[in-house]
């Protein structure tokens, strides 16, 4: 905690390791949100489809 964070540099992009980890976790959670089904929805043949 007392030492400065390591930095990575690719051309004109320079980013610290903790920031790179946070961005990676955010991207992982975004992909999970796209792939996992939304809770509480049973699909097209749910309860609301039979009431029509």
User: Helix, strand, or coil here: 47?
Assistant: helix
Is pTM, for the whole model, over 0.85? Answer: no
CA-to-CA distance for 31 and 8, rounded, in angstroms?
24
User: Helix, strand, or coil here: 49?
Assistant: helix
Q: Which phi and psi (to 5°) does residue 5 adopt? A: -70, 145
Per-residue tokens: 25: 């976790």
| pLDDT tens profile 2-52 | 889 999 999 999 999 999 999 999 999 999 999 988 777 666 665 555 555
Domain ranges of the chain: 1-28
Q: Which residues pair with 38 in a beta bridge?
A: none
């Amino acid at each position: 905690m007392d030492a400065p964070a390591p930095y990575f540099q690719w051309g004109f992009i320079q980013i610290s390791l903790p920031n790179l980890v946070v961005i990676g976790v955010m991207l992982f959670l975004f992909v999970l949100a796209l792939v996992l089904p939304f809770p509480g929805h049973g699909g097209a043949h749910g309860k609301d489809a039979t009431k029509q």
